[in-house]
Amino acid sequence: MPRSAASPSALSKAIAATIRKIPRGKVSTYGAVAKAAGYPRCARHVAKVLQSVPDLPWQRVLGAGGRISLSAEYALEQRFLLQAEGIRFRGKRVDMPNFEHIFSPRRSVPRAR
DNA sequence: ACTGTGACACTGG
DNA sequence: ACCAGTGCCACAG
């Protein structure tokens, strides 16, 4: 096995993969993505991944509470893209109760029921 | 090994 | 409800 492992760290891949799972018409938050990817306290890394990895549905990732955490100009574009997917806002925030994507819980504890 | 980075989350005033 | 400060954690140089 060559040591030329994949350049992107496991964390980056996991986060990127998680972001790709957010379906069209839904959104998530940095914290939620990090958690779903298996790295609960790494919300800030989600931001890093969005920066470095192209071709991700970046507009579907929001700050806590559904707030857009981009500078004004980009915020405008993000909002536009989201609305184009049918997502609705309430003031400056996305109507989270209705549009937040719920990731399938990782069943580290099988048969948890 | 150390320091700076990053599109954050959370708490308190 | 808004803003500022503080905590966070792994990556990149």
pLDDT digits (tens, 9 = 90+) for A42-96: 999 999 999 999 999 999 999 999 999 999 989 999 999 999 999 999 999 999 9
The predicted structure's pLDDT at residue A21: 97
Nucleotide nearest residue A43, measured CA to C1': B8
A66 in Cβ contact with A93 (< 8 Å): yes
Rounded to two decimals, the pTM is 0.90
Chain B: nucleotides below 7 Å from protein CB are: 5-10
**What does R_g of chain A's alpha carbons equal in angstroms?**
15
Please give, chain by chain, protein residues whose CB is below 7 Å from any atom of strand B.
A 29-31, 42-48, 50-51, 58-59, 61, 63-64, 67, 69-70, 78
Tokens 């909002």 belong to A79
* Vertex A36 angle, CA A34 and A40, to 5°: 45
